[in-house]
Amino acid sequence: MNDENTGGNVSFTGLQILVFSLVSMAIATIYITQPVLPVLRTEFGVGETLASLSISAVIFGIALANLPLGIAADRFPIKPIIGFGGLVIALCGFICATTGSLTVLIGTRFVQGLFLPCLTTCVAAYLARTLPEERLNVVMGSYVSATVAGGLGGRLLGGFIHPPLHWRYAFVTSSVLLLIATFSAYLLLPREKTGPAAAPGAHGFLDLIARKDLLRIYLVAFSSFFVFSSVFNYLPFYLSTPAFGASTGVITLTYSCYLIGVIMGPLAGKLSNRFGNGTVMALGAALFGLSLVLTLIESMPVVVAGLAGICAGFFAIHASAAGSLNRRLRSSRGRANSLYVLLYYLGGFAGISASGYLYVSRGWSGIVATGIVMLAIPLGSGIWEVVGTKRKSVSPPLR
């Protein structure tokens, strides 16, 4: 593909770099405090559940703001929304770096969550509005890769690049990088097309969630991220126990398993095309569950292997569920995907919140047991879809 201009002030390759930088820095913001949660617990003198609010507050903010900002992206120019959102998130990052109050830290993180869809949901809507379909598919590949890289990058930034007791510098670094990415995007992104932002959808949010086939997929998004968020949020506490005695640097390196998502996302899509979304979803849930059980073995190599399997299983579920959702739709894809993202992040918030109490009362085995129960949803949904597909294929012809 040649590198011709996209119609604005940046080449096509430059557009991919802009999208990757902006989205990855936005996602990195979510996870900065995750690898240093034991440090926050000690520094502020609180328990695991309160320290974990520095993550779940962001996710809750994203869940609340996703639908309203998705609607705003359909009705108003998107570039100003992107610019303002990036500015607010960066300024909040500077506040997080300087505050001595856990309450202020958590509240500011919640505000960051409220504006993060400006750089995720709205960027996706902007690309759909601006680019032709063949180029949109390529740039959205950069978008998906950026979400994985951002998830890993935020954790590395918070727990490995900076010394553990200087986690505040991670907020300064991320805020400066986000300001640069936001300013560059605002100046260089191609102009938006004039005219109506989007055609009105054929179905409202309530109509979509009332469909049983779509509701199953939304529950898959909720349950799978419920378990995934629980595992990676309480992993630092588990690995810092005497059984492992892992340092913050070692704990942070275990998040490198997240890179499996870069490979597994596209691979799961190809496997779904060949074997069906239901098959990949069910197999992903089974792999997720078995790998989760592996983490009960108090051996660092075994736990790392389990985490690798957890990541592979999760991204297989996520990719197949998103594919299944969009294959079932002929209209209202924007609203349907907004609902998917909403349930996805609500699942993350619920998982982190509920699992805090489980971890305090039952330890890591409580996290694992709850995860197995929740994974019954994607497993059952995948099997249901496989069975339904086979029934359609073997139905006798009408006489």
- Give the whole-angstrom CA distance, residue 158 versus residue 270: 34
Last residue of a domain, one of 131, 159, 191: 191
At which residue do the structure tokens 């958590």 appear?
A: 106
- Using the 3D structure, point to which of 153, 171, 191 is the last residue of a domain: 191
pLDDT at 350: 92
CA nearest 294: which of 246, 286, 321?
286
Higher per-residue confidence, 107 vs 154: 107
Q: Which residue has the higher pLDDT, 339 or 367?
A: 367
User: How does residue 3 score in pLDDT terms, banded at 50, 70 and 90?
Assistant: very low
| CATH number of residue 356's parent domain | 1.20.1250.20
Task: Report residue 334's pLDDT band, with 50, 70 and 90 as the boundaries.
Answer: low
333 vs 330: CA distance, rounded Å = 7
Specify whether 176 is located in the same domain as 285: no
In a domain, 3, yes or no: no
What pLDDT shows up at residue 194? 53
pLDDT higher for 320 or 106?
106
Q: Which two tokens stand for residue 157?
A: 């930034």
Instruction: Examine residue 223 and state whether it is found in any structural domain, yes or no.
Output: yes
pLDDT at 97 over 70: yes
* pLDDT tens, residue by residue, 251-301: 888 888 888 877 777 777 778 778 888 899 999 999 999 999 999 999 999
The answer to which of 23-37, 62-76, 383-397 has the lowest mean pLDDT is: 383-397
205-209, 232-236, 271-275, 333-337 — most confident range: 232-236
| DSSP H helical ranges for the chain | 12-30, 37-44, 48-75, 78-98, 102-115, 121-130, 133-156, 168-188, 205-210, 212-239, 248-254, 260-275, 277-294, 300-327, 333-362, 364-374, 376-394
Identify whether the C-beta of residue 222 lies closer than 8 Å to the C-beta of residue 119: no
Q: Please tell me the predicted confidence (pLDDT) of residue 376.
A: 97
pLDDT of 220 strictly over 60: yes
Across 75-92, average pLDDT: 92
Mean pLDDT, residues 11-32: 87
Q: At residue 167, what are phi and psi to the nearest 5 degrees?
A: -60, -20
Could you tell me if 139 and 33 lie in one domain? yes
* Same domain assignment for residues 258 and 167: no
The answer to whether position 183 is within a domain reads yes
Structural contact between residues 378 and 238, judged by C-beta atoms closer than 8 angstroms? no
Domain count of the chain? 2
> What pLDDT digit, counting tens, does each position of 152-176 carry?
888 888 877 766 667 889 999 999 9
Residue 328 CB coordination number (10 Å):
13
Binning pLDDT at 50, 70 and 90, where does residue 115 land?
very high
Whole-prediction pTM value?
A: 0.76
SS3 at position 292: helix
How far is CA 289 from each of CA 135, 277, 284, 323, 387, rounded to the nearest angstrom? 37, 18, 9, 22, 21
Question: Across the chain, what does the average pLDDT equal?
Answer: 84
Task: Give the rounded distance of the alpha carbon of 102 from its chain centre.
Answer: 24
Backbone region of residue 331 per phi and psi (left: phi > 0; alpha: psi in -120 to 50; beta: other values): beta
Range of 365's domain?
200-390
> Which pLDDT band, with edges at 50, 70 and 90, does 198 fall under?
very low
Instruction: Please give the residue that has the higher pLDDT: either 133 or 388.
Output: 388
Q: State the pLDDT at residue 333.
A: 61
Residue 330 contacts residue 276 (beta carbons within 8 Å)? no
pLDDT of residue 368: 96
